[in-house]
Structure 1
Amino acid sequence: MSARFGHTELPEEQERALRRAVRLSWLTIAFLITAVTGVYLAMGSSQAMKAAWMEDMLSFIPPIAFLVAVHRTKRRPSPQHPYGYHRAVGVGHLVAATALCAMGSFMVWDSASGLVKAEHPPVGLMELGGQAFWSGWLMIAVLAYTAVPPVLLGRAKMPLAEKLHDRVLFADADMNKADWMTAVGGILGILGIGLGLWWADAAAALFISGSILHDGVRNLRVAVGALMDARAETYDGQDPHPLVPAIDDRLGDLSWVADVRSRVRDQGHVFHVESFVVPVEGHNPTMEDLRLAREAAIDLDWKIDDMVVIPVEDLPHQMLPGLEKEAGGGGHDAA
């Protein structure tokens, strides 16, 4: 049976991407279990190690949120949820972003307090196999172990996030790709302690905490915007989605359409589209005209899942903000 998001059957390429993304998410969780265990056992009283451990703990949230969201979005629409369960992606993104913001803020305050109080973290000796050595080397080894796998996982997830238009997966991949900075910052902090620079540990912890807070604020902005029915944007939340003008262009090419304007909102993996079309003078669109128009737009991309085509005498300015600014432009400009 083909994979689906609600009643939307995924094309073969997206189906393969979904299966691979699920496998990578489980692999990420398995790696994080080993990482948080190793960092916890080695961290001692180091602020940088504590911050790295907290970031690894927070890193569980995006892959878990992705797996839960994928499970929920497979459910078909119901009387209680007539639009389906696609918003589970947005909810998962919001939960992950809120956790990052909250913990990032706390860790920035905690790290800054240690720096202001001039706390000197002790990193002593430990014995292994009858040999005594500086425990900082163990910390560095553990941090080095946590540096490379997340980067590889993040690079593998990023193209899948684009294919699936999944912002939770993108947030996870983006955090993974930046995890090497956490490890390097922690290593520099430990080396600083070894060189007698007491402030290096707290400074490294502050850097890691700031990175977590930055990720949280950026993802929170995108997540809240999507849940507030902001215009449909690309999976990374950086640009308007190119499908929006493409829908208007496709409908505008129909012989009986004089003017068209669509508003498109991101439901999660798929889009909800409302297209207002002004027929050419003297033409009354038939049911067949409307059906063919809808099918022509849906054929553009699998993400155009829920679409209505509404014939109107004039474009409704009150429902299409910004239309006044484009009144002097072409007939079917981008939304």
Structure 2
Amino acid sequence: MPEPSPTSSKRRGRLFRFGAAFVVLSAVAGYLVVQYVTGGTAGPGCRVVSGDDDGAVYEFTPEQAVNAATISAVGTDRGLPERAVTIALATALQESGLRNIEHGDRDSLGLFQQRPSQGWGTEKQIMDPTYAAGIFYEHLVKVSGYTKLPLTVAAQRVQRSGYPEAYAKHEPDATLLAAALTGRAAATLTCEGRPAAAATAGPDAVRTALVRDFGRDALQEAGAEVSGSGGGSGTKAASTPAPGVTAESSGRTVTVPVPSATGDSAGRSSEERGWQLAHWAVANSSALHIARVAYAGREWTAGSTDSQWRTTGARSDGGAERAAADSVRIVTAQ
């Protein structure tokens, strides 16, 4: 049997080295793509499924979940319809990937890539998600008949983008998110809920975040009295803990009352309000160290293998479930 030539051995060695280098470069490129898409946010993800049993699913990061929940809360706090929230979410998905980024084209910033030089606010204001969402909605409601327009047309009349057709591709995902985060589609949003390294913990952090996103008026409807002033272009009440959002004797539970009548100009029901609050808590679970959320006879628990909403011990006559629908219970990990 002939001995392999030195030339053949060298060629095989070069091919092996080239192949190994290609694998390493591919892995690095894949990592960089993931970091770009997620904004460098490592850790567990979130998931929203269709409430219509059509198999539609959207998966996203905890950072994106927090921002999406804020955008939805700001919209519903203004009494705007679900369509407005869908348009806002699709716009933010296109402009920033639902990340509150500090860079963009020219002086564009934040979730919606708004420009200080074009009158959208100061840099500090634009980098505040509640302000950014509020000022977006202020412009959106000035668009005549925006709820009847194609999404990409309505978004473009606010944004004046160089790529006006780009918003359309995000409509399916934004529709799923809006249905969950406005509370119309019950028990459809879940997260793994493992705390982020720099997460803010405890009931006080949950109260502060509730006031930040839902504002003074929304909490007062639930029987809370919140000090501080709100109003203005997307501004919220001062982040003072709301007396009506009470911590129970365990020291880790925040109970948020759900009003029997929302008084919502968009016609949302009390149950929808409850599911909005419950989904908001799950979306913020990694950021706020939330371990468990319960509402209307269903419960989500952080770190479970399937992150599903499970049925709790409601009686066969529905009594326990009706009682549970009066409030959303948020239990923190510490």
TM-score, normalised on structure 2? 0.24
Q: Where is the helix percentage greater, Structure 1 or Structure 2?
A: 1
TM-score, normalised on structure 1? 0.24
